[in-house]
Structure 1
Amino acid sequence: MSRPQGPHKPFLSFGNPFRTSLTKGSYLSPKLLASLNYFEESLAQRLKKLKLADKEDVLSLSWMRMATESLCEIHSDIKSLILALELPVCDWEDKWIDVYFADSVKLLDICIAFSSEISRLKQGNLYIQCVLHHLNNASSNQCVRTCSSLDGWSKHIGSKNPKLENCFSVIDSLHQTLDLPKIKNSSKGLVLMRAMYGVKVISLFVCSIFATAFSGSSNKLMDLQVPDSCLWGVDFNKVRTSVNTEIRSIYSNGKVTVLKELEVVDMGAKKVHLFVQDGTESVECDVLKNAALDLENAAKDFSQELDLLGQDIDGFFQIVLTGRDTLLHNLRIDGNISGLVPASNNAKDQVVR
């Protein structure tokens, strides 16, 4: 899954996020200010869950699951905020609506790409099952069949996923719209845009890590900077620095497979391959038997974690999709919204694994 390591292009600047914040003459009622502060304090708490207890955790499927769960909570929070603000249509401009719906479509497309990669990795596990089957099936061509399946595994995990490749351009386009539209004469709009800015930054950060983990390239890792004036800014910057530093350290060591659970399976497969090539053809041989057992356990753990991550990403997909519906209903609009971006063709159907 490795990709050529080109020069890193940091994402250090994305305009002034507080074009959408409180301008001169703006006023937030105590209720609106309390809603905004509560939302941003919640963001800070969600981010604290992503702090690394162990630096080895950063590109593990278990950490990725935790990150997905945090994203689900954050997007549920913004949906609750939309309901609490009770926005009438007069508080919205078409451009704001277009930005929100365009962003949500991009997130749905990113989810589809990640689900596709999870499905591809699960298919790779079939090669490992074939390896274990051949080792337990004493025959004259046991060695040849085992080596063939191991070669198939190696080629599969090193292949490219077109949907994942396209995901990079979607993430880039999402990044380019971080500078949200300027808001005039709408205190509720100010609150919502500032909240949406936080959701967008954290979504981009997590998605860039996932794309990095799945693709085998750190080129698209984002160094997003958030002002400390945000109630969640300090926590975000700490987590971003810690996580990105560890990821770059992992890639600097030249690892081909960076997903922790995938690396364990791959190491186990290479160990079995070495024994078989050396002529240790019988699974009754203790050294090969132990290697096969280790490979079986690693593959089982990898498969289970992939299943759980896939379920979490499906859950995030549904939250984003229902968030669009919540906003549509809450706008109380008769007729069509000008420029509304439809969900992708796959949006209403879960990706079949």
Structure 2
Amino acid sequence: MSRPQDPQWTFLPFGNPFRMILKGSNLSPKQLDLLNTFEETLAGRLRKLKPADREDVLSLSWMRNSMESLCETHADIKILITALELPVRDWDDKWIDVYLGNTMKLLDICIAFSSEISRLKQGHLFLHCALHDLNSSSSKQFMDARSSLDGWKQRIGSKNPRLDECFSVMDSLAKTLDIPKIKNSPKGKVLMRAMYGVKVLTLFVCSTFAAAFSGSAKKLMDLQVPEICLWAEAFTDLQIFVNTEIRNAYSKGAFTVLKELEAVDAGVKKLYPIVQEGVKGSAEAEALKNIVSDLEKSDEKLNEGLNLLAKEVDGFFKVILTGRDALLCNFRFVGNVSDEVRTIVNVRGQAVR
């Protein structure tokens, strides 16, 4: 993690994990081709994720696209395992332990993000009521609208305790960015290197989401990857661009870096004084009408964006869950798995059901 007042932290304390990954590993042309294809595909996704304009950091559409890319990359791991012809019975116990532990943490992160999206959508309900009141002819329209706006401000300004849990989970996940030592398994080395790329992308996406939802850049991660990875340049370029924009926005006192939420908040700030003091003339009545109209559009855009993002987060949750289920199911038919791994499977498998 990196804080403005602290030295920058990176998550490669063990040095270059790929210094010797290919030397003496006896990778076949097919295995090299599979690895290169995976990494080139990841590089392409990273390049597409770099926003064309600074204003797109962080829009809900960008967040949705980044979550979609994350789902696709996790799905690519399943394809790679099949192409490598690496059956579950050949998995090393340590790989299994790392996989089950990491995926459990990802499920926790998904739950935290879904909780935050739901909290923001509850704010939409308050604002919807306020705008409905202002469009009515009731003598209490301003009083009712003010009450609803207060509810919106309280809901949006509150803190989500699940995010604090999410930060600790991300910290622990970042500490697993090393690659287990693999002996006499070229296929395993290809898989571990691919999984490293998935973990880096996952941490980057989760880090930006956490910064957007928490209203702070303190938990942004700055990940460094070895140049030997074919996607390293694209990732570094993307990370610097996005993290710099987020930090700049918060350093200027921004309430949020979520563009759609920022637009709604700006509209509420224009509306609230009028609701407090009431309309005193035709000019103010016209101004109120325009503000309400603009705010309705901004609020609808925010709500629609949150709905679509919620679907992507839910989709990512299902990708992780189905991957775990497939692995656990395969273990039921494997006879040479150690008792220790069976215990891990049983305990962790039950925990997410």
* TM-score normalised by length of structure 1: 0.91
1:30 matched to which residue of 2?
Answer: 29
Indicate the residue corresponding to 1:71 in structure 2: 70
Distance 2:144 2:7 in 1: 44
Corresponding position of 2:301: 301
Going from structure 1 to structure 2, the CA distance change for 1:287 and 1:8 (only over 3 Å counts) comes to: farther
Q: Is the contact between residue 17 and residue 179 of structure 1 (CA under 8 Å) also seen in structure 2? A: no
Residue matched to 1:280 = 279
Q: Amino acid of the residue matched to residue 64 of structure 1?
A: M
- Residue 85 of structure 1 aligns with which residue? 84
Verify the 8 A CA contact 1:49 1:70 in the aligned structure 2. Answer: no
Q: Which residue is 2:253 aligned to?
A: 254
| Paired residues for 1:135-154 under 5 Å | 135-154=134-153
Query: 1:155-170, aligned counterparts within 5 Å?
Result: 155-170=154-169
One-letter amino acid of the structure 2 residue matched with residue 342 of structure 1 = R
Structure-1 residue corresponding to 2:234: 235
2-side partners of 1:108 and 1:216: how far apart?
A: 22
Structure 2: runs of 5+ lacking an equivalent: none
Q: Verify the 8 A CA contact 2:11 2:175 in the aligned structure 1.
A: no
The Cα of 1:343 is off from its aligned counterpart by 4.8
Q: Does 1:183 align with 2:189?
A: no
- In 2, the alpha carbon distance for the partners of 1:282 and 1:126 equals 29
> Counterparts of 2:53 and 2:18 in 1: how far apart (Å)?
37
Greater share of residues in helix: 2
What displacement does 1:20 show? Answer: 8.6
Q: Indicate the larger mover: 195-204 or 179-188.
A: 179-188
Q: Which residue of 1 aligns with 2:109?
A: 110
Q: For residues 181-228 of structure 1, give each alpha carbon's deviation from its aligned partner in whole angstroms, at most 9, with x where no partner exists.
A: 111111111000000000001100110000000000111101101122
CA drift at 1:144? 1.9
The alignment partner of 1:52 has SS state of coil
1:265-299: CA deviation from partner (whole Å, max 9, x where unpaired): 11111111122223227999211011111111111
Answering whether residue 198 of structure 2 is matched by residue 192 of structure 1, we say no
- Aligned equivalents of 1:53 and 1:297: distance in 2? 24
CA distance change for structure 1 residues 9 and 219 in 2, over 3 Å: closer, same or farther? farther
SS in 1 for 2:256: coil
List per-residue Cα deviations over 1:165-187 (Å, max 9, x = no partner).
21000110100111121111111
Name the CA distance, whole Å, in 2 between partners of 1:188 and 1:25.
13
Structure 1 residues 259 and 8, CA gap change in structure 2 (3 angstroms): farther
Q: Alignment partner of 2:348: what SS?
A: coil
Q: 1:21 to 1:310 in 2, by over 3 A?
A: farther
- Paired with 2:155 and 2:255, the residues of 1 have a C-alpha distance of 13
Aligned equivalent of 2:348, options 334, 342, 346: 342
> Is the 8 Å Cα contact of residues 109 and 344 (structure 1) preserved in structure 2?
no
Question: Whole-Å Cα distance in 2 between the matches of residues 115 and 28 of structure 1?
Answer: 41
Cα distance between partner residues in 2 of 1:64 and 1:7: 28
- Structure 2 CA distance, aligned partners of 1:206 and 1:344? 27
Q: Which runs of 5+ in 1 are unaligned?
A: 349-353
Other-structure match for 2:312:
312
CA RMSD of aligned residues (A): 2.2
- Which amino acid counterpart does residue 131 of structure 2 have in structure 1? L
Distance 1:200 1:281, change over 3 A: farther
Query: Which sits farther off after the overlay, 270-279 or 57-66?
Result: 270-279
TM-score (normalizing by structure 2) = 0.91
CA contact (8 A) 1:82 1:192 kept: yes
Q: Please tell me the residue identity of whatever aligns with 2:8.
A: P
Equivalent position of 2:131 in the other structure: 132
Aligned length: 343
Instruction: Provide the rounded CA distance (Å) in 2 between the counterparts of 1:277 and 1:344.
Output: 53
Contact kept in structure 1, 2:112 and 2:162, CA below 8 Å: yes
Counterpart in the other structure of 2:8 = 10
Q: Do the aligned partners of 1:138 and 1:282 also contact (CA within 8 Å) in 2? A: no
- 1:42 maps onto 2:41 in alignment: yes
Tell me, yes or no, if the aligned pair for 1:127 and 1:153 is still in contact at 8 Å: yes
Q: Say which is worse superposed, 138-147 or 53-62, in terms of deviation.
A: 138-147
